[in-house]
Amino acid sequence: MVASSPVPGGGPDSGHATSLAYSTIRDEILSGGFPGGHRLREDDLAAMIGVSRTPIREALRSLAAEGFVTHERNRGFQVESWTLKDLEEVHGLRSLLEPYAAGLAATSGLLDADALVALADEMQEAIRQPRLDVELMTELNNRFHDAILEASGNQRLRLLVNSVVQVPIVRRTFSQYTNEDLKRSLAHHQELVESLRSGDAVWAESVMRTHMRLSWISTQRRFHSANPVPGSDSTNVAI
């Protein structure tokens, strides 16, 4: 990226500078540009983003509080690394929470089924392209799942799920899906729409649970592919 002129810390634009630093570093982590274990040096980041060290430091503290980075005395900040156990815990929580949300959405009366159909159709169109647009698929998928969470009518549940999935390991879910995985995942979306429209909470929960299982199987596959050495239990893969 092209660096802008540094913004002095504490000035009237310091809030903007901190926001810029936060979003830039976070995007680099989520995209895999800064992999797990990567050292985050304030001077380097300030030069890259075009701000002073103060907003960089504030952004790193916020990212540490959210679990994106860690801070160790005498070592500074570095990108969080994720073990297979970490991945399993996140997927385990999603497998409990999102089926529950789907069941609520089926009976809440808040569902915008047409919006879900449109998102599902856009994803179907995306996989027909010669080259998969991972960023687009990720955005559409996030919107699809968030629409179901919103339709659950349980705002605390929605916030809880978003706090679980808003971590580096779930950024590029589709990046290493096989063609069969993609087709199966999108077929789940179509069936989710049908189950939600029918008002059948049990059906909706069952489909979402299967959908979460497919995501976990794919995650395990990518983890082991990125860590071929026996006994390795950490990964730098952005999933």
Q: Give the list of residues 6+ apart from residue 171 with CB closer than 8 angstroms, or none.
A: 30, 31, 32, 138, 238, 239
Single-letter amino acid code for the residue at 64: A
5, with CB counted inside 10 A (0-12, 13-18, 19+), is exposed
- Domain membership of residue 71 (yes or no) is yes
110 and 76 together in one domain: no
pTM for this model (two decimals): 0.70
18 and 58 together in one domain: yes
- Domain membership of residue 3 (yes or no) is no
Residue 167: what pLDDT?
52
Cα(148)–Cα(139) distance, integer angstroms = 15
Read off the tokens for 19: 């926001």
50 and 120 together in one domain: no
Residue with token string 């540094």 = 6
- Domain membership of residue 4 (yes or no) is no
Domain count, the chain: 2
Looking at residues 6-13, what average pLDDT do you find?
A: 44
- Domain membership of residue 206 (yes or no) is yes
Contact between 233 and 120 under an 8 Å Cβ cutoff? The reply is no
Whether pLDDT at 10 is above 60: no
231 and 159 together in one domain: yes
What are the distances in angstroms from CA 109 to CA 21, 55, 158? 41, 44, 16
Mean pLDDT value across the chain: 84
- Domain membership of residue 1 (yes or no) is no
Q: Give the list of residues 6+ apart from residue 226 with CB closer than 8 angstroms, or none.
A: 235, 236, 237
Return the CATH number at 144.
1.20.120.530
Confidence of residue 100 (pLDDT cuts 50, 70, 90): very high
Domain of residue 29 covers 14-80
- Domain membership of residue 7 (yes or no) is no
Whether pLDDT at 64 is above 60: yes
Residues linked to residue 69 through DSSP beta bridges, in sequence order = 79
Residue 35: what pLDDT?
84
Give the N- to C-terminal CA distance of the chain in Å, as an integer: 23
89 and 207 together in one domain: yes
45 and 66 together in one domain: yes
Residue 169: what pLDDT?
54
Alpha-carbon torsion (75, 30, 239, 105), positive or negative: positive
Confidence of residue 125 (pLDDT cuts 50, 70, 90): very high
Q: Which of 50, 80, 110 is the last residue of a domain?
A: 80
Ramachandran region, residue 32 (left: φ > 0; alpha: ψ -120 to 50; beta: rest):
left
Residue 43: what pLDDT?
96
Return the CATH number at 57.
1.10.10.10
Contact between 152 and 146 under an 8 Å Cβ cutoff? The reply is no
- Domain membership of residue 5 (yes or no) is no
- Domain membership of residue 128 (yes or no) is yes
Confidence of residue 114 (pLDDT cuts 50, 70, 90): very high
90 and 159 together in one domain: yes
Cα(162)–Cα(137) distance, integer angstroms = 18
Q: Which of 39, 60, 80 is the last residue of a domain?
A: 80
123 and 215 together in one domain: yes
75, with CB counted inside 10 A (0-12, 13-18, 19+), is exposed
Q: What is the pLDDT of residues 211-237, one digit of tens each?
A: 999 888 887 887 776 655 444 444 433
164 and 47 together in one domain: no
Q: What is the pLDDT of residues 137-196, one digit of tens each?
A: 888 998 999 999 999 999 999 999 988 875 555 555 566 677 888 899 999 999 999 999
Q: Which of 29, 63, 80 is the last residue of a domain?
A: 80
